[in-house]
Structure 1
Amino acid sequence: MHYVKKYVEVVARISENGEPKPMYIGWEDNRYFKVDKVLEVLPAASLKAGGQGLRFKLRIGQVTTYVYYENPAWFVEKRVD
Structure 2
Amino acid sequence: MEIVKVYVDVTAEFSKEGVLTPKSFIWKDGSVYEIQRVKDMRRAASMKAGGVGIRYTCVVDGRESYLFYEDNNLWFVEGKTGA
Q: Which position in structure 2 is the counterpart of 1:45?
A: 45
* 1:3-14 aligned within 5 A: 3-14=3-14
Code of the aligned partner of 2:22: P
Mapped to 2, the partners of 1:33 and 1:23 lie a distance apart of: 9
Q: Which position in structure 1 is the counterpart of 2:78?
A: 77
Equivalenced residue count is 81
Paired-residue identity, %: 36
SS in 2 for 1:36: strand
* 1:7-46 aligned within 5 A: 7-46=7-46
Moved over 4 A (4+): none
Mapped to 2, the partners of 1:69 and 1:18 lie a distance apart of: 15
TM-score by length of 2: 0.90
TM-score by length of 1: 0.92
Deviation track 1:7-32 (CA, whole Å, cap 9, x = no partner) reads 10000011223321000011111111
Code of the aligned partner of 1:33: Y
Q: Which position in structure 2 is the counterpart of 1:54?
A: 54
Q: Flag structure 2 segments of 5+ consecutive residues without an equivalent.
A: none
